[in-house]
Structure 1
Amino acid sequence: MGSHFVEENMEGLIRLCPANHIPLTPLSFMERAAFVYRKNIALIQENISYSWEELHERCVKLASALSQLGGVTHGHVVAAVSPNVPALYELHFSVPMAGAVLSALNTKLDAATLAQILQQLEAKVIFVHTGFIELVLQALVTLQEKDKPYLLVLIHDSSNVKELPVSSVPPKILDYQTLLDMGQPNFKIVYPKNEFDPISINFTSGSTGMPKGVVYSHRAVYLNAIADIFRYEMSKSPVFLWTVDMFRCNGWCLPWTVAALGGTNICLGEIDGKEILESIYLHNVTHFCGAPMMLPKIADAIGTNQPLLPNNVNVTVAGVLPPPDIMTKLEKLGFSISHAYGMSEALGPMISMPRKSQDDFSNSNEDANVKIREGIHNIMMEQVDVKDPESMQSVPADGKTIGEIMFRGNAVMLGYLKDPSRTEEAFEGEWYRTKDLGIKYPNGYIKLKDRVVDVIKSGGEIISTLEIEGVLIRHPMVLEAAVVARPDDVLGETPCAFVKLKEGCFVTDEEIIKFCEDKLQDYMVPKAVIFGDLPLNSSGKIQKFILRAKTKALKLCLPL
């Protein structure tokens, strides 16, 4: 037998031979979709639509052009700075088809941070949407001083995203369609020789500092895309509305999931409530995902005599949920809302379950408890637990004992780009350590309490800032809220609330405190309230380290 065969100890068995082992890669999903669903609509944006057959050919040609013009090959990085347009979806397949690694970057980054990330990536090619060309050129000024050549490819689209006038686009930048036309449809796709080869690099939100490059493998992405089918209760040929950014964990791996199911991708111009609702009715959307902040926008767009949705629409959001009245309004219209928890290192959400399953953590209804256990123990996440970070023993499932949420499984990152020490720290003890605190209930439900760095330790009590924020956001005049620890000479730390009010609203700090007193235990009630805008990072997350510094600088002397 050839040297590529590996003999198994048990007589007559062979493992890892070409007949029984092909490296897992989501590229196979596109190949299958082009064969099985060839004439079905794969992607729509306004007046543009492609079948799976057409989309497959475009991806192959783009991979061919990248290999020829850009010299892109195995292990090279291709970056993209773009909103959710068809080109960015195509890059999720065409870049790995060329053997390269895709890094879709946050369009909300400032130029300095983008420059640091591009320097770390050493990308061979950068695809940039016309709406963000000035940002990218500004970031490249520093890098060009170091004589690093970059091939820029400009993405145009027909959406409502603001584009630059043609005259303002610098010369010597290649147009996306021009590059595509250079490719050959008979290009031989470069499949990974090892399924652990990198396929993408996603950067964390950088809520506590410089974003970290999280590297995904072909294998993990393939398995997580399959897990998404269960996680979001998808079936054959879903209609997926792109409200989650593709630069966030590769759109939670859903570009590949939709291909695996032969579904239809709907790209939007602007993400607002009115357009989301219109798209749902127009295209019979079945699923969409993203940040909870879009739910109030949809609720506000609902008219007085709004007809019920054409079909049940599954929505999954990750983050702090809006007030219950908004959720109820959406559910009455026909939305089924699930709440997810995850992170970049887990390729997006790793826990997802219907919102209503979380209403009663001591639920004795076995059907509800099965939903909870399914949500926690996903088919590709082997173990999720709450552990004592020192002893690594599981905490009691009593709904009270706090520990660190940890997990292990087949849908986990390879590690942090060019940062082996952080990678080793993250995987210490053979579990991924989230640095999130949580509790576990008897029915298996795990509830996030807080980040380790955010929790407040006050007079022997451990206070969850998330719980206080959940109360604050229910105040009818509060738009956004964040709670951090305020140094205290007696208790060590006490809660300090930062509140942004809705436009045109006014409320005093005493009224906010009284509102909390009616809903929280005494030790959890904020002892100080500060009004104003909240500092956000490029992902829209509140930068609590800035607020903590502010509490110290202000030296508040409000009464306890």
Structure 2
Amino acid sequence: MAQLLQKMINGDNGARAGEPALTDRHGVTSWGELNQRVNQLVHLLRSLGVQPGERVALLSGNRREVYEIIQAAAHSGILLVPINWHFAAEEVQYVVDNSGSRAIFVDPTYGAAADGIDLPRFDFADHEHGGNSSYETALAGQSADEPEAQEMGGVMFYTSGTTGRPKGVRNTAFGTGGGVPPEVYELMAAGMVNIGFPPNGRTLLCGPHYHSAQWAFTFFPMVGGSSVVLQEKFVPEETLRLIDEHAITNIHLVPTQFVRLLRADEAAKAAFSGESLQLVLHGAAPCSPQVKRQMIEWWGPKVTEYYGATEGGVVSLITAEEWLRKPGSVGKPMANYIVRIQPEDDEGGATADAAAPFEPGTIHIRNMMGTDFEYLGEPEKTKDAHRLEGMFTLGDIGYLDDEGYLFLSDRKIDMIISGGVNIYPAEIEGVLTAHPSVVDAAVFGIPDEEFGEQVKAALQLAPGAVWDSATEASVVAHAREHLAGYKVPRSFDLVEAMPRSEAGKLLKRELRTPYWEGIGRSI
């Protein structure tokens, strides 16, 4: 019996075996069934010759099979590579190749993006059109007996890269292969309790499972005995219904989802109780103070904000009560983190001393648990993120106040956060400048009431090119061919020449700043 699941099922003398572990709109998987299917999956992976530390890819929407594979990775020493289901075929191929994945599991809804991949492929059941499932057939051919010599595996996430390609993040907190699962993962599950997750609770997943926060805030509570209800796509009225229907105790949301919930159908809002909710975590993007106040007024003090990233985990936390006293803060560092604000000199190098209270600088972080990260195959990027000995930075600018509360004020890098999704302009700029009508491009984020930011592109046209509806349509079609839809610019500006310094550096802030004047925020 899979070691982590064994404790969950047998902790109450086996009484939990028949209780729901995973629920989606197509059915329910009990803890006992989950244990059996995870055992079969571990045997399947071993039959393919996948060794501990190696990778397998997953291209899927939110469905129960995802967590079967996550649990199998946790017990077989492998690293699961979840792929953004919005990725175009070219991007999916890159992630599979770059990660060195040995097999791929595919949701038929997104199967076309994986059609060119030459790996063992296992398709989930097609609930819309029927037909045989190679995934189910493969599982049926494997033993449900408990695998021997289980090892801790984990997940390797890909985050968009500043050089135009997604970066694989190997975070030791998410597993790198090897070790004993209960000892390591139960420590992380205990950390979830410290954040406020109730043991044996019920988690609602209403965001993409391929985001590290969605994975962490479902999987680790699951290790502590929490069941998971999966919503395929976020629809605010359905989210409210599912919370009450399944007595959900904890949920993770991003600010865009807050906005949509506040705008939900009035009848759905009036019918909503939310009495079961104990923790509402939000992060991934800056939240408008007005929106957050409205959510606290509606859902109460259970709304808690965190600051973190795939690279670093949960760095700081702030309760609703604290936030109302310190609006705009992302909280105090967690007990296992040290945050240092490092000013820079005129040359961009770190000064000798840390910043004084309220003095802004680059945020550097040390995880006292000893976990760290690297970007797969990119040692220079890994080095650049570790500029101070024993610490790392995500490139954010902020300050600590006189009570040790952390505030974010800017991003040093040009990253756009739209709807909680990180978007890096360099990749988009590279695609745009490959169009014959474009000689130069600058991509940046501008304010968006619902998504926080939207993607804007400033273009310098090639000599002789004319900007009209046909050219714009051609540029958009070209972008959609090579990029996920959410990365395609929503609007364009034309410039005669890009603003650049004497050294030739693009002065993107000159293009971006006018859109943010009078907004009251810059990220």
Normalising by structure 1, what TM-score? 0.67
Distance 2:49 2:327 in 1: 58
Distance 1:179 1:157 in 2: 15
TM superposition shift of 1:250: 6.5
Alpha carbons of 1:411 and 1:297: their partners in 2 closer, same or farther (altered >3 Å)?
A: farther
Q: Which residue of 2 aligns with 1:210?
A: 165
Unaligned runs of 5+ in 1: 1-26, 141-148, 168-172, 364-371, 456-464, 470-481, 484-495, 503-532
Distance 2:9 2:185 in 1: 20
Q: Which amino acid aligns with 1:239?
A: R
Q: Which amino acid aligns with 2:7?
A: R
- Structure 2 residue aligned with 1:351, among 316, 323, 344? 316
Q: Which residue of 1 aligns with 2:412?
A: 452
TM superposition shift of 1:127: 0.3
- Structure 1 residue aligned with 2:356, among 396, 406, 413? 396
Q: Contact 1:74 / 1:99 at 8 angstroms: preserved in 2?
A: yes
User: How many corresponding residue pairs?
Assistant: 429
Q: Which amino acid aligns with 2:498?
A: K
- Structure 2 residue aligned with 1:100, among 57, 64, 78? 78
Q: Which residue of 2 aligns with 1:234?
A: 197
Q: Aligned with 2:340: secondary structure? A: strand
Q: Contact 2:207 / 2:234 at 8 angstroms: preserved in 1?
A: no
Q: Which residue of 1 aligns with 2:365?
A: 406
Q: Which residue of 2 aligns with 1:31?
A: 6
Q: Contact 1:30 / 1:259 at 8 angstroms: preserved in 2?
A: no
Q: Which residue of 1 aligns with 2:113?
A: 135
Q: Aligned with 1:415: secondary structure? A: strand
- 1:211-237 Cα distance to aligned partner (Å, 9 max, x none): 110013337766444322222x11221
Pairing of 1:328-347 with structure 2 (within 5 A): 328=294, 331-334=297-300, 336-347=302-313
Pairing of 1:255-266 with structure 2 (within 5 A): 255-266=218-229
Q: Which residue of 2 aligns with 1:312?
A: 277
Distance 1:126 1:362 in 2: 44
Q: Which residue of 2 aligns with 1:156?
A: 125
Distance 2:265 2:135 in 1: 38
Q: Which amino acid aligns with 1:154?
A: D
Pairing of 1:102-501 with structure 2 (within 5 A): 102-138=80-116, 140=117, 149-156=118-125, 158=127, 163=128, 165=129, 175-192=134-151, 199-206=154-161, 209-217=164-172, 218=175, 223-231=187-195, 233-249=196-212, 251-304=214-267, 305-318=270-283, 319-322=285-288, 324=290, 327-328=293-294, 331-334=297-300, 336-347=302-313, 349-361=314-326, 375-379=331-335, 381-388=336-343, 390-391=350-351, 393-397=353-357, 399-410=358-369, 412-428=371-387, 429-454=389-414, 498-499=446-447
Normalising by structure 2, what TM-score? 0.72
- 1:340-370 Cα distance to aligned partner (Å, 9 max, x none): 22111014x322222442233399xxxxxxx
Distance 1:262 1:411 in 2: 26
Q: Contact 1:299 / 1:329 at 8 angstroms: preserved in 2?
A: yes
Distance 2:321 2:97 in 1: 45
- Between 248-257 and 178-187, the greater mean CA deviation after superposition: 248-257
Whichever of the two has the greater Rg, that structure is: 1
Q: Contact 1:152 / 1:174 at 8 angstroms: preserved in 2?
A: no
TM superposition shift of 1:542: 9.4
Q: Aligned with 1:449: secondary structure? A: strand
TM superposition shift of 1:252: 4.1
Alpha carbons of 1:437 and 1:250: their partners in 2 closer, same or farther (altered >3 Å)?
A: closer
- 1:245-302 Cα distance to aligned partner (Å, 9 max, x none): 2211173423432222211210113211011011011011111113211112222225
Distance 2:187 2:486 in 1: 29
TM superposition shift of 1:184: 0.9
Q: Which amino acid aligns with 1:385?
A: R
Distance 1:391 1:432 in 2: 16
Q: Which residue of 1 aligns with 2:59?
A: 81
Distance 1:299 1:271 in 2: 14
Distance 2:232 2:369 in 1: 35
TM superposition shift of 1:28: 4.6
Distance 2:366 2:156 in 1: 21
- 1:434-477 Cα distance to aligned partner (Å, 9 max, x none): 2111111011111111111349xxxxxxxxx99xx9xxxxxxxx
- 1:468-509 Cα distance to aligned partner (Å, 9 max, x none): x9xxxxxxxxxxxx99xxxxxxxxxxxx9845588xxxxxxx
Alpha carbons of 1:402 and 1:351: their partners in 2 closer, same or farther (altered >3 Å)?
A: same
Distance 1:266 1:247 in 2: 16
- 1:6-35 Cα distance to aligned partner (Å, 9 max, x none): xxxxxxxxxxxxxxxxxxxxx753331132
Q: Contact 1:384 / 1:405 at 8 angstroms: preserved in 2?
A: yes
Unaligned runs of 5+ in 2: 345-349, 419-423, 426-443, 451-475, 500-507, 518-523
Q: Contact 1:89 / 1:255 at 8 angstroms: preserved in 2?
A: no
Q: Aligned with 2:17: secondary structure? A: coil
TM superposition shift of 1:543: 8.1
Flag as ranges the 4+ runs of structure 1 deviating above 6 A: 541-544, 546-551, 553-556
Report percent identity of matched pairs: 18
Q: Which amino acid aligns with 2:32?
A: E
Distance 2:362 2:9 in 1: 47
Q: Aligned with 2:166: secondary structure? A: coil
Q: Contact 2:3 / 2:75 at 8 angstroms: preserved in 1?
A: no
CA-based RMSD of the aligned residues comes to: 3.9
Q: Contact 1:331 / 1:337 at 8 angstroms: preserved in 2?
A: no
TM superposition shift of 1:312: 3.5
